[in-house]
Structure 1
Amino acid sequence: MIQTVLPIDNILLNVEAKTKEEAIRLAGSVLVKNGYVKGNYIEKMIEREESLTTYMGNFIAIPHGTEESKQEVISSGISILQVPNGVDFGNGNIVKVIFGIAGKDNEHLDLLSQIAILCSEEENVHKLVAATSKQQLISLFSEVD
């Protein structure tokens, strides 16, 4: 399922991000560049993060837009940033894998469920962080199907 909405172009490996805002902007810019969302969606991702953290535990964050940002979404998409050195998402919560999500008509709920299943085991998160190719990272999701 996730492989169908996860083109290689949506994955960035070995990203360096100094702040969570920089990381979220980068995740959002992949969604904009690849035609999933309009440019303003990135600001809505930042706005969401300011009101409620998207840090999920296990070195994972899933930034996404606010409820009002739905009109900014052109089609459902996901971006993945691998940040091996980590980025602080506040309160010492270090994130090493960022899933930028844009959902149309609740299609993103399936994506979230697959991410949750895969990332509920810390060992799988370590595999995502250690992946040396985009294809290797995508193949980890095929084990969840």
Structure 2
Amino acid sequence: MAKAVLQLENILHGENVQTKEDAIQTVGGLLHKNGYVNAEYINKMMEREELTSTYMGNFLAIPHGTEDAKKEVIESGITIMLLDQPIDWDGNEVKLVIGIAGKGDEHLSILSNIAITCSEEDTLQQILNAGSKEELMSFFNEVE
């Protein structure tokens, strides 16, 4: 049976990283540790970031692998990291990092659902102010 796209162990709350590279390594490492991707996927996330920034606005970045990284995805999954302090992401402040791995074309619906969830200013503020992993998870239960 396939595992859920988002599980509580895929969420990091109040993390402290210094750079976007650290952030990508952290969310990618969690995707790998929890069985969603092969280790090589993390390198593909870094490559993707070099091609185009995954900064989305409103303190949000959504790092994911390159097109050829799909073969490294075992199961679709996301990891969410809410930072204690914002970090610089190509000249922008980021506090919420969502790592994405989509099997086949599932990454498109995952990206779309994340965009919808984070598009409302009020909802995004509540996400950024979430006090626990469980509270964070409640905002993203619909992401599949």
Q: TM-score, normalised by structure 1?
A: 0.91
Q: What is the CA–CA distance in structure 2 between the aligned matches of 1:128 and 1:33, rounded to whole Å?
A: 24
Counterpart in the other structure of 1:29 = 29
* Residues 123 and 84 (structure 1), Cα distance of their counterparts in 2 relative to 1, 3 Å cut: farther
* Secondary structure at 1:25 match in 2: helix
Is the 8 Å Cα contact of residues 37 and 102 (structure 1) preserved in structure 2? yes
* Secondary structure at 1:68 match in 2: helix
Moved over 6 A (4+): none
Any unmatched runs of 5+ in structure 2? none
Q: TM-score, normalised by structure 2?
A: 0.91
Is the 8 Å Cα contact of residues 59 and 125 (structure 1) preserved in structure 2? no
RMSD across aligned C-alpha pairs, in angstroms? 1.7
1:142 CA drift (Å): 4.7
Counterpart in the other structure of 1:39 = 39
Counterpart in the other structure of 2:86 = 86
Is the 8 Å Cα contact of residues 113 and 142 (structure 2) preserved in structure 1? no
Q: What is the CA–CA distance in structure 1 between the aligned matches of 2:140 and 2:41, rounded to whole Å?
A: 26
Give CA deviations for 1:64-104 in whole Å, capped at 9, x if unaligned. Answer: 0011111111110000000131111112x111111100011
* Secondary structure at 2:15 match in 1: coil
AA at the equivalent of 2:128? V
Counterpart in the other structure of 1:59 = 59
Counterpart in the other structure of 1:113 = 112
Instruction: State the aligned residue count.
Output: 141
AA at the equivalent of 2:121? E
Is the 8 Å Cα contact of residues 6 and 141 (structure 2) preserved in structure 1? no
Any unmatched runs of 5+ in structure 1? none
1:123 CA drift (Å): 2.2
Counterpart in the other structure of 2:101 = 102
Is the 8 Å Cα contact of residues 17 and 87 (structure 2) preserved in structure 1? yes
Is the 8 Å Cα contact of residues 31 and 37 (structure 2) preserved in structure 1? yes
